Amino acid sequence: MSCEEVYLPKPKGYNRIDLPEAKYQILPDTFPFKFQYSDYSILSADDSPNAERYWVNLTYPKFDALVQLTYKSLIDPKNKPEVLLNEAFELAMKHNVKAYGIEESLIQIPNGQVASITELEGEVPTQFQFFTSDSTHHFFRGALYFNTATKNDSLAPIIEFIKTDMIHLLNSFEWKY
């Protein structure tokens, strides 16, 4: 009987990615800003050598992803808004070599300000970046990175999941004056 079975090759399979339900918590009260971030991420101080006081990372351990969040006080005379804006655009555009698509957009966030969002497509190290500023006191920037060699088309559901979290972060974002 077993010799009669017709063998057919199986179709190409894909890894199943189970994404958690979105739940959020509030940033601790020790920062000059507040926002809600995913329960699924881990908040930690940025321990890189050039990190400043209010720089933090949101790590998504299951996805080997990291969102770096940086803050600059515009009251400090060495932090000029036009320089920080240029740096934010340069950091996004330096991926132009590998990106086959870059989409920039502005969104109105509930605190009455605007956030600039840059979405990059292709085999780039960062697929999503954003910044917002009140133009007189504060400048806040974020960038999503993956620590994996997996191709971005395979990461697409995870990228979208974290982008949704970042949009929620921006929509809940408020400055403390």
Domain residues of the chain, as ranges? 41-175
**Segment 88-106, tens digit of pLDDT:** 988 887 767 677 788 999 9
Name the phi and psi angles at 163, rounded to 5: -60, -40
Name the phi and psi angles at 48, rounded to 5: -70, 155
**Segment 65-88, tens digit of pLDDT:** 999 999 999 999 999 999 999 999
Per-residue pLDDT, 14 = 61
- Half-sphere exposure (Cβ direction) of 45: Cα atoms closer than 13 Å: 9
Does 1 score more than 60 pLDDT? no
Q: Are 166 and 67 in contact (CB under 8 A)?
A: yes
Per-residue pLDDT, 83 = 94
CA 121/CA 104 separation, integer angstroms: 12
Per-residue pLDDT, 28 = 94
pTM for this prediction: 0.86
Residue bearing the bigger pLDDT, 99 or 53:
53
What average pLDDT does range 16-31 have in this prediction? 90
Does 118 score more than 60 pLDDT? yes
Instruction: Tell me which of 3.40.1000, 3.40.50, 1.10.3470, 2.60.40 is the CATH number of domain 41-175.
Output: 3.40.1000
CA 112/CA 108 separation, integer angstroms: 7
